[in-house]
Structure 1
Amino acid sequence: MLNQLHPRSTTLIRAPRGVGKSTLMLLLLKGMAGEDFVVVSGASEVKRGEVVGRLHIPSLEKEGVERVLWAAFVKSRGKGIDELNRLNPYTTANIHHLMQFGEVWAYGQRSKVEDYILIANENPSDPTSFTHPPPFYDRFDICVYLRTLTFSEKFQLQDLLEKHDWNLVESMPQVLSFEDLQEIRAEVADIELEPDLIGCINLLVRDFQSCIREKEISEVKPPVLCEGCHFIRDICGMIKEPVSERATVALTHLAKAAKWLYGKCSIEDLFSMALWVFPHRLNLIRTRNILGDIQDLLERERVKMEDRRLRRQWTILNELMKGFNLSLYRLAREAAVEDVVFAEELIRMEERWISEGLLKRGEDIASQMGWRLYGYNQWRLKM
């Protein structure tokens, strides 16, 4: 529910067949959009007219005018996509454009898409799936994984089904009008987060991105790229493709929504939210169970953040930003050899101190560790 509290929200539900991902999608759409929702299915032959629009033939024949009849999917408040991974590439491209720019195009004409709720589901192990590009999945704010029910939960479901004549979707009322939802979204947007929480979001995402060998632009990818790297045992050494900056945006939206709904959002809440935000945005070098593997990395991240706090790394960095201090610089160097994100910031400061004559080239940690800056805010290992 938290993810629905910002404009143009997008949610992806992943689960094996028969677990209830389609039912959950329909319940959420009906609960917030009432009857104003449309579902397209990748399991059927979805045509352009069903998703975007089609030509009004009489206008073309009688007047020679290309008039587009925009599809109900475009105009509806609630948008559902069943079996997302079965969508053909052409339809996927249209939906990707809708999520990215808030508009659709057909026959040279453009239609702006108003605020909406978009919920999709898929079974990633389905052998008939298309392989959609990572940027498409990156457009989904969160990804929720469903599991099969436990023994006791099966009884609860049966009781619920009997209570509603075995038709949960039809019995689902609209619990919130879309107008009320838009008012809530406006209030959530005005929520201000504490600086410490914003810093934690940025640091958490950066720890799942940073790489001194620039894996994002390197032709050689991990694990080969990581061979001999000083940080090979760090979190970055476990990640093949890092998360994008949209992870920061998604976590910020969720944190604001939690603060609006519950009155607070803690750092522990952010770690829980990361399990919704990260799984569909990154690729690990070795994957056994994506949620379990990411949970393990987040546990390591907790330890790392606590170590930073005990060593007062950011306090030291803040003091160094005010002016060069040799004693503090030595402490910062010790921390930098164990922390790639901290090292990034320290190396940027070293470059400034060298240009100001406060530090000599060769005395800096970048030179001694074999790192160097190139371009704007980029650095890598000397090869």
Structure 2
Amino acid sequence: MTDPLGKIDDLANALQELRLHVGPADLQVGGRKVNGQLYISLANSCLRNRAALLYGGMGANKTTLVNLLGSAFTGLSFDEIENLMVTGHPEQTEEKIVGFIDPRQWSCPENLASDERPDGIRVLWTPWARSRWKVINEINRFPSGKQNLFLELLAKRKVGYAGETLQLGDTCYFATMNPDFSSTYPLDEALLDRISISVPAVQPDFLAGLALAEREEEVSALASSLPRFSAEEFDDLPRLVADVHLESQVELSIISLLRDFTLCERAPAFDKTQLSGGSKPSRGLCSGCHYFNNPEACCWQIDEGLSDRVRQDLRSYTRALSLLLGLKGEGKIEVLRAVAPYVIWHRVSPSRTMLERPPYYGARRLEYVRDLVEKSINRTLNERGGMNMIFARAVDGDISPGEAMEELSGYDDPIAALDYMKALERMV
């Protein structure tokens, strides 16, 4: 078997040389810059049962890129992959998406082979339902009722119809989404939480436009020149990702990042994911709170907390992108810095007061979340070093919980007050 990572590098280079993808190097990992739209899509291709959303205006190479990657990773032709895709519109029915009842079992059962004659209902599943590479094009053109179908699919990894169930197995999921138009619908918050990562897709800039102008062949013809993965190589990619080791500082930064967004001393069980209705930071919940208006605290700047799925997604994409960039030793904390905003920004609603200020001007939500991520990780690696050590010593039994609580009481940090202190109280 050939080296699948080397083949991924060849694929990325071929996409650029053939002018099938010429996006800017807008994702910085340490001292290296790569194209975020491409490398996050490649990272998702190395994982299973994660969903990547490509968001941007028309003509930003969202759907074409995903179909090109699908052709390369599955070995199917570009046209075959394109035919598998489900595209959103209000009249798209469940029968067209996942399957329908085989009418032959009642109208002409004699046309079925003896081993095909079921005791119950027989469902003919669509090629999209049976595929391990699922693309939902323009997902926000589906109304909320149809969106529930995809929510169930991502949550249960199986799909049901007419009492029959199809197990989906390990699958790559991609979705594309255009900005709000007259024919689009808001995405359900629960569905957004099931989308693991979201990357903006931008229109070709001036230089990219010149490069695309030199492309004379059709996309489907050029796609046949891309490297192809065997079934064994495609199946081996998740194992390679799982073998990537994350250092303790990365694991601690991931957990602390979630807690920074989720902890709230005024929420039930100090958990901001339980807030609803008018009990939001943007609705006055934080007025008079000790941490309110502290620029280093993230809790009051975001309405929602983050579910544990975010922790899993952060670990998965940090590993996958580290694998793609060839990072075998230290340095994965820089990958976490780069990838975390894309895992979080579509799941939260920032404070409008803060977002509308310079340099965000109400539009740069990803950049706003990126700055919050940077503050959280820097705080974990620097100011929190002492309190983390105190808590670890108490857990290891080197000092008593009482001694640790006395030392931690001097730290003005929500994690110290609402996580470490509460955990130590249970140990007394």
TM-score (normalizing by structure 2):
0.75
| Cα deviation, residue 350, structure 1 | 5.0
Q: Which amino acid aligns with 2:304?
A: E
Distance change in 2, residues 1:174/1:136 (3 Å): farther
Counterpart of 1:225 in structure 2 is 285
| Cα deviation, residue 346, structure 1 | 3.2
1:23 aligns with 2:64: yes
1:324 aligns with 2:400: yes
| Cα deviation, residue 329, structure 1 | 4.2
| Cα deviation, residue 62, structure 1 | 4.3
- Within a 5 Å distance, the mapping from 1:215-294 to structure 2 comes to 215-219=272-276, 220-223=279-282, 224-232=284-292, 233=294, 234-261=297-324, 262=326, 263-264=328-329, 265-286=331-352, 287=355, 288=362, 289-294=364-369
Q: Which amino acid aligns with 1:332?
A: L
For residues 206 and 250 of structure 2, what CA distance do their matches in structure 1 show? 39
Q: Report Cα offsets for 1:129-172 as digits up to 9, x if no partner.
A: 1223111122222111112232222212323x23xx1x224421
| Cα deviation, residue 59, structure 1 | 0.5
Report the more deviating stretch, 20-29 or 190-199: 190-199
1:334 aligns with 2:413: no
Q: Which amino acid aligns with 1:216?
A: T
Counterpart of 1:372 in structure 2 is none
| Cα deviation, residue 345, structure 1 | 2.8
Distance change in 2, residues 1:18/1:271 (3 Å): same
Q: Report Cα offsets for 1:39-80 as digits up to 9, x if no partner.
A: 111147322122111011120234595211011111122211
Distance change in 2, residues 1:257/1:213 (3 Å): same
SS for the counterpart of 2:256 is: helix
For residues 70 and 292 of structure 1, what CA distance do their matches in structure 2 show? 42
SS for the counterpart of 1:226 is: coil
Q: Report Cα offsets for 1:153-200 as digits up to 9, x if no partner.
A: 2212323x23xx1x2244213532343111121232244323232222
For residues 31 and 178 of structure 1, what CA distance do their matches in structure 2 show? 11
Does the 8 A contact of 1:23 with 1:169 survive in 2? no
Alignment match of 2:233 (pick from 173, 180, 201): 180
| Cα deviation, residue 21, structure 1 | 1.6
For residues 298 and 367 of structure 2, what CA distance do their matches in structure 1 show? 15
Q: Report Cα offsets for 1:14-42 as digits up to 9, x if no partner.
A: 00122222222222222212326311111
Counterpart of 2:178 in structure 1 is 123
Q: Which amino acid aligns with 2:98?
A: V
1:136 aligns with 2:191: yes
Q: Report Cα offsets for 1:242-272 as digits up to 9, x if no partner.
A: 2221111111112222344412452121010
| Cα deviation, residue 273, structure 1 | 0.6
Q: Report Cα offsets for 1:74-107 as digits up to 9, x if no partner.
A: 1122211111100133332222212111111111
Distance change in 2, residues 1:81/1:326 (3 Å): closer
Counterpart of 1:54 in structure 2 is 100
For residues 49 and 91 of structure 1, what CA distance do their matches in structure 2 show? 11
SS for the counterpart of 1:69 is: strand
1:14 aligns with 2:55: yes
Report the more deviating stretch, 61-70 or 91-100: 61-70
SS for the counterpart of 1:13 is: strand
For residues 13 and 283 of structure 1, what CA distance do their matches in structure 2 show? 19
Counting matched residue pairs gives 347
Alignment match of 2:419 (pick from 345, 362, 368): 345
1:4 aligns with 2:50: no
| Cα deviation, residue 306, structure 1 | 4.1
Distance change in 2, residues 1:179/1:49 (3 Å): farther
Q: Report Cα offsets for 1:326-381 as digits up to 9, x if no partner.
A: 7754441121xx2111222332245247xx5xxxxxxxxxxxxxxxxxxxxxxxxx
Alignment match of 1:92 (pick from 139, 143, 147): 147
Q: Which amino acid aligns with 2:192?
A: Y
Does the 8 A contact of 2:198 with 2:343 survive in 1? yes
Report the more deviating stretch, 85-94 or 59-68: 59-68
SS for the counterpart of 1:278 is: helix
For residues 60 and 323 of structure 2, what CA distance do their matches in structure 1 show? 31
SS for the counterpart of 1:156 is: helix
Q: Percent identity?
A: 25
For residues 203 and 135 of structure 1, what CA distance do their matches in structure 2 show? 23
For residues 247 and 276 of structure 1, what CA distance do their matches in structure 2 show? 11
Alignment match of 1:72 (pick from 117, 127, 135): 127
Counterpart of 1:373 in structure 2 is none
Distance change in 2, residues 1:60/1:192 (3 Å): farther
Counterpart of 1:301 in structure 2 is 376
Does the 8 A contact of 1:16 with 1:125 survive in 2? no
| Cα deviation, residue 325, structure 1 | 7.3
SS for the counterpart of 1:271 is: helix
For residues 301 and 212 of structure 2, what CA distance do their matches in structure 1 show? 39
Cα RMSD after superposing both structures: 2.3
Higher relative contact order (CA 8 A, sep 6+): 2
For residues 189 and 326 of structure 1, what CA distance do their matches in structure 2 show? 39
Note the residue ranges of structure 1 that are not aligned, 5 or more in a row: 357-383
Does the 8 A contact of 1:34 with 1:174 survive in 2? no
For residues 172 and 71 of structure 2, what CA distance do their matches in structure 1 show? 11
Q: Report Cα offsets for 1:259-305 as digits up to 9, x if no partner.
A: 44412452121010112201111121224221121122123224422
Note the residue ranges of structure 2 that are not aligned, 5 or more in a row: 1-41, 110-118, 356-361
Q: Which amino acid aligns with 2:372?
A: L
1:213 aligns with 2:266: yes
